[in-house]
Amino acid sequence: MTLPAPTYNLVLLLDPQAEETTRAKLVADTRSAIEAQGELLRHDEWGERALAYPIDRKASAIYHLFQFHVADTALLDGLDRTLRIADEAIRFRIIKLAPGVPPAPDMTAGASARRAEGEAPATAPAAASTPTPDAAPADESTVAADSALAAETADAAEPATEVAVGDPS
């Protein structure tokens, strides 16, 4: 029995100050190379995001995630060479995923807009109820208890972390 082709993630950070046409050409060339020698599972454009630390005096980058299957590792070598040479690529990382790894989160703008409209993601904890300015509280002890609960919830939340992605050089 033949094993299925391994799944790879390519996270590509592009220079936001580079011309749009050159960035689009690099993304299109990467996508076509993957489709020619493998199977592209998904391509997500995460947009411009702040970097954890400045890279070449740049504080932000445009993130792209490519997830693909490939049996021949010659594609990986070709992508590595192409992206090392490209001036528009600030950093990139190709990672072989272990079997059973959950899918990447939906980081598109539409997903954040849905969360802003009130659709909570499936893994998000339920928010503590806080009184609205229009609603009249039953008594002062209820307001004090609700604000204390909100403060405890805010203190207990883990701080957000950023992950910097870079090429193996």
Tens-digit pLDDT string for the chain (169 aa): 567 788 999 999 999 999 999 999 999 999 999 999 999 999 999 999 999 999 989 999 999 999 999 988 899 999 999 999 999 999 999 999 988 888 787 776 555 555 555 554 444 334 444 444 444 444 444 444 444 444 444 444 444 444 455 555 4
pLDDT at residue number 126: 40
Q: What is the Cα–Cα distance from 70 to 123, expressed in whole angstroms?
A: 31
Who's near 4: CB < 8 A, 6+ residues apart?
69
Q: Which strands make up the sheet holding 39-55, listed edge to edge? A: 39-55, 58-69, 7-14, 89-96
Tell the burial category of 109 from Cβ atoms under 10 Å away from its Cβ (0-12, 13-18, 19+). Answer: exposed
Q: Give the Å distances, CA to CA, from 12 to 52, 83, 158.
A: 15, 9, 27
The three-state secondary structure class of 125 is coil
pLDDT score recorded for residue 42: 93
Torsion of CA 67, 72, 169, 51, to 10 degrees: -10
pLDDT of residue 18: 93
Helix axes 74-85 and 20-37, enclosed angle (nearest 10): 170
pLDDT at 119: 53
The secondary structure of 57-115, three-state, reads CEEEEEEEEEEEECCCCHHHHHHHHHHHHCCCEEEEEEEECCCCCCCCCCCCHHHHHHH
Fold assignment, 1-126+163-169: Alpha-Beta Plaits (3.30.70)
Angle subtended at Cα 63 by Cα 61 and Cα 67, rounded to the nearest 5 degrees: 155
Phi, psi of 163, deg, nearest 5: -115, 125
| pLDDT score recorded for residue 71 | 84
- What does pTM read for this prediction? 0.62
Among 82, 12, 91, 97, CA closest to 47: 12
How confident is the model at residue 99, as a pLDDT?
84
